[in-house]
Homo-oligomer: A and B are copies of this chain.
Amino acid sequence: MSPCGNRPNGRYPECVTFPVVGMVGGGQLARMTHEAGIPLGIRFKLLSDTPQDSAAQVVGDVVVGDYRDLDTLRAFAHGCDVITFDHEHVPTEHLRALEADGLPVRPGPDALVHAQDKGVMREKLTAIGVPCPRHRIVSDPADVAAFAAEGARPGQGAAEGDGTGEDDGFPVILKTVRGGYDGKGVWFVRSEAEAAEPFKAGVPVLAEEKVDFVRELAANVVRSPHGQAVAYPVVESRQVDGVCDTVIAPAPDLDEELAGQAQELALRVADELGVVGHLAVELFETRDADGTPKVLVNELAMRPHNSGHWTQDGAVTSQFANHVRAVLDLPLGDPRPRAPWTAMVNVLGGDYPDMYSAYLHCMARDPQLKIHMYGKDVKPGRKVGHVNTYGDDLDDVLERARHAAGYLRGTIVE
Residues in A lying within 8 Å of B, measured CB to CB: 1, 3, 11-14, 16-19, 31-32, 34-35, 38-41, 43-44, 51-52, 56-60, 62, 312, 316-317, 325, 330-334, 338, 354-356, 359-360, 363-364, 367-368, 370-375, 377, 385
Q: Which residue from B57, B312, B334, B368 sits with its C-beta under 8 Å from A11?
A: B57
Chain B residues within an 8 Å CB radius of A60: 56-60, 62
- A259 nearest CB across to chain B (Å): 21
Residue on B with the closest CB to A13? B52
- A353 nearest CB across to chain B (Å): 8
Contact B39 A370 (CB under 8 A): yes
Contact B57 A43 (CB under 8 A): yes
Contact B363 A333 (CB under 8 A): yes
Rounded to whole angstroms, the CA-CA distance of A62 and B355 in the bound complex is: 26
Chain B residues within an 8 Å CB radius of A40: 371, 373
- A349 nearest CB across to chain B (Å): 13
Contact B18 A44 (CB under 8 A): no
- Name A's interface SS: loop
- A201 nearest CB across to chain B (Å): 32
Chain B residues within an 8 Å CB radius of A13: 52
Residue on B with the closest CB to A325? B363
Contact B3 A57 (CB under 8 A): no
- A307 nearest CB across to chain B (Å): 18
Chain B residues within an 8 Å CB radius of A39: 32, 35, 312, 370-373
Q: How many copies does the complex hold?
A: 2
Contact A58 B44 (CB under 8 A): yes
Q: Which 9 A-B residue pairs are closest in the complex by CB-CB distance?
A: A41-B373, A331-B364, A331-B363, A334-B367, A39-B372, A17-B356, A35-B38, A334-B368, A17-B354
- A75 nearest CB across to chain B (Å): 20
Residue on B with the closest CB to A385? B41
5 interchain pairs, CB-CB under 8 A: A32-B38, A39-B370, A40-B371, A41-B372, A59-B60
- A245 nearest CB across to chain B (Å): 20
Rounded to whole angstroms, the CA-CA distance of A115 and B332 in the bound complex is: 41
Chain B residues within an 8 Å CB radius of A19: 356
Rounded to whole angstroms, the CA-CA distance of A368 and B317 in the bound complex is: 8
With contacts A367-B332, A385-B41 known, is A18 near B373, CB below 8 A? yes
Chain B residues within an 8 Å CB radius of A359: 41, 330
With contacts A57-B60, A58-B60 known, is A363 near B330, CB below 8 A? yes
Contact B38 A34 (CB under 8 A): yes
Residue on B with the closest CB to A19? B356
